[in-house]
Structure 1
Amino acid sequence: MNFLPVAVIITLAFHNGMGAPMDFAEYISQVLMSQTPDQAFGRLFRQVNLLQDATCFVGLKGHVLKDDALSSSSDWDTNHASDQGRLDNQQIGHKRGAWSSKTNAVGQWIMVDLGQVTSVSGIITQGRPSSDQWVRTYKVHCGETQATLAPIQEAGKDKIFTGNKNQNDRSVQKFGHLHCRYIRIYPQSWYKHMSMRFEVIKGQCADLY
């Protein structure tokens, strides 16, 4: 749970249609008066997290980016395809709720096309919701075109980002402000099988994570 300052909460609220301070104040008042304090604050923080996600994500979780924006080096099958690799996705029927590679080998990747060059500042990952599988470490390549994709580096070496330790907890990894249209994730190590869900953080929200 992210405990954001009040100013940030209000900013997020304005970004999502609460047009005046009174709108926000009335909403807070209604929540506090209708529930116990613990219930009320729990609800408020859940709402803040939803507002933060809607404002700060490029659009994988919210399906702003369509399925054809996602691609991969390989998929286990159509039920484990790249379009399943959205943050917080869940298993529905035969669709397994995460991307899983065909083979477990360094060099496999999942990529998102943001549609245009976009300021980005980080990656959020999760494992597979329906099975004990997740990516432990990964590299990130960024490019304005696929031909110019290049690894994010640190101290002159490809940076290794920390992934997940279980199926569902989010792992947030930041890399400063970059301008990319294409973002490609290369898993480097994994638990049981190379499976993951992810989202990209907008550059404007670098300080909120």
Structure 2
Amino acid sequence: MTESFGVNVKWITFILIYQLLTYRTLSASVENKPLQECYMGMKSGEIPDNSITATSMYNPYHAPQFARLDAPGTSNHGAWSSLTNNTSEWLQIDLGSNKALAGLVTQGRPTHPQWVVSYTVSCGNTVTDLVSLAKDGKPLVFKGNWDRNTKVYNRFPAVMFCRYIRIHPKTSYDWISLRVELVSADCFASVNPFI
């Protein structure tokens, strides 16, 4: 039966499927913009290599400048990997001036099963006044990756205005290895594209 109470069931099914697909599309975009249009320059190279620093690097093939989202991997490089695998490590990005940040996109190392499972974030106008993003007085721990290449989006609970942003890995799979992009708050209104 395709009609009930004068309503075409096929038409209602089509509308529901259309709304579901539209919702999913909007969930991955901002005001009909792809999320990629909100990226702040890690992937594109607009943020220069010397603005990406870290506490350490495993070797020159895993230097901080390789921490760019979607950086292709070879047998020697493809992500920032720390020298030690502990919670004192961090990756820092200098945006050159204060910018409005909405969140982060992360990936693991493309050529080996290594990634950051959880992390905290701090930011500030200078490296001496960095403040951790917190909830109820405790640093907010973000869920990271579960594989090498899936992009994981995390939106901050509030817009952060800062020049320097640090990502502090807390747990990792096999080793601290990270690729990242910053997401501009200028793109956001009411739609939340983050999972």
The structure having more radius of gyration, on CA atoms, is: 2
More helix by share: 1
Mapping of 1:1-209 within 5 angstroms?
3-4=25-26, 8-9=31-32, 12=33, 49=34, 52-53=35-36, 55-92=37-74, 94=76, 96-175=77-156, 176-206=158-188, 207-209=191-193
> Contact 2:107 / 2:178 at 8 angstroms: preserved in 1?
yes
Partner of 2:20: none
Unpaired runs of at least 5, structure 1: 13-48
Q: Normalising by structure 1, report the TM-score.
A: 0.75
What are the Cα deviations for residues 13-50 of structure 1, in whole angstroms up to 9, with x where unaligned?
Answer: xxxxxxxxxxxxxxxxxxxxxxxxxxxxxxxxxxxx4x
Calculate percent identity across the aligned residue pairs: 34
- Residues 7 and 135 (structure 1 numbering): CA distance in 2 closer, same or farther, change over 3 Å? closer
Aligned-pair RMSD on alpha carbons?
2.0
More strand by share: 2
- Give distance in 1, aligned partners of 2:30 and 2:80: 37
- Give distance in 2, aligned partners of 1:138 and 1:92: 25
What secondary structure is seen at the aligned counterpart in 2 of 1:124? Answer: strand
Cα offset for 1:156?
1.2
What are the Cα deviations for residues 149-188 of structure 1, in whole angstroms up to 9, with x where unaligned?
Answer: 1110011111001000000001111112110100000000
What are the Cα deviations for residues 42-83 of structure 1, in whole angstroms up to 9, with x where unaligned?
Answer: xxxxxxx4xx31x20110001111101100000001100000
Partner of 2:14: none
What secondary structure is seen at the aligned counterpart in 2 of 1:204? Answer: helix
What secondary structure is seen at the aligned counterpart in 1 of 2:101? Answer: strand
Indicate the structure whose relative CO is greater, using CA pairs within 8 Å and at least 6 residues apart.
2
Q: Normalising by structure 2, report the TM-score.
A: 0.80
